[in-house]
Amino acid sequence: MKAENLKSIQAPLKQKYREEPESAVITLKANGLLGNSISCKVETGKLIVEAGLHPATGGDGTLACSGDLLLEALVACAGVTLNAVATSMGLRIAGGKVTAEGDLDLKGTLGISKDTPVGFREIRLYFEVESHESAESLEKLRELTERYCVVYQTIVSATRVKTYLE
């Protein structure tokens, strides 16, 4: 795609976001199903993942959005971590669901507003666990899942990321 094509696709979106600022705020979501073992199946719907622009930024919707992939990585990591922690705690988990959703204000990423941060405003992580374990045990499971989930900790610790151009 050439720059002028992208600009022509994004121009009406940018105009809309200028005129209706709240329309630039979207929510992305990812789901995963806890497996029988220490696993979590993330629902991507794609065998080979090719990332591209989200339709709200000018994409045509045929490629994966990197924001969705981030949420899917969080779901996968949290689901696997939850299963691993439950296993190590001796808790019986019959099944469940992990869901992550995050809010973006696209005025930042589209360069409409320098005052609008680029990236997620907030990410919410939900666990639905099928278990007969005590509420106290399940709360401890949630706490330890937070503590040991690599992707979760990477996100919440505001890990420094360096970029290099070679």
Q: What is the pLDDT of residues 61-84, one digit of tens each?
A: 888 788 998 999 999 999 999 999
How many distinct structural domains can be found in the chain? 1
pTM over cut 0.85: no
Residue 165 lies in a domain: no
Give the count of alpha carbons within 13 A of 153, CB side only. 9
Question: Which H or E run contains 71?
Answer: helix 66-89
Phi and psi at residue 74, in whole multiples of 5°? -65, -45
Q: By CB neighbour count within 10 A (0-12 exposed, 13-18 middle, 19+ buried), where does 40 fall?
A: buried
Residue 81 lies in a domain: yes
Read off the CATH number of the domain in which 133 is found: 3.30.300.20
SS3 label, residue 95: strand
pLDDT tens for residues 149-160?
A: 999 999 999 888
Residue 25 lies in a domain: yes
Residue 118 lies in a domain: yes
Enclosing domain of residue 19:
3-156
Q: What is the mean pLDDT of each run of 10 residues along the chain (166 residues)?
A: 77 94 90 71 68 87 86 95 91 94 95 94 96 96 96 92 87
Quickly count: other Cβ atoms within 10 Å of residue 122's Cβ: 9
Phi and psi at residue 113, in whole multiples of 5°? -135, 115
Residue with tokens 């809309």: 16
Q: 82-120: b or e for each residue (b if 16 or more CB lie within 10 Å)?
A: bbbbbeeeebebeebbbbbbbebbbbbbbebeeebeeeb
Question: Which H or E run contains 85?
Answer: helix 66-89
Residue 166 lies in a domain: no
Residue 75 lies in a domain: yes
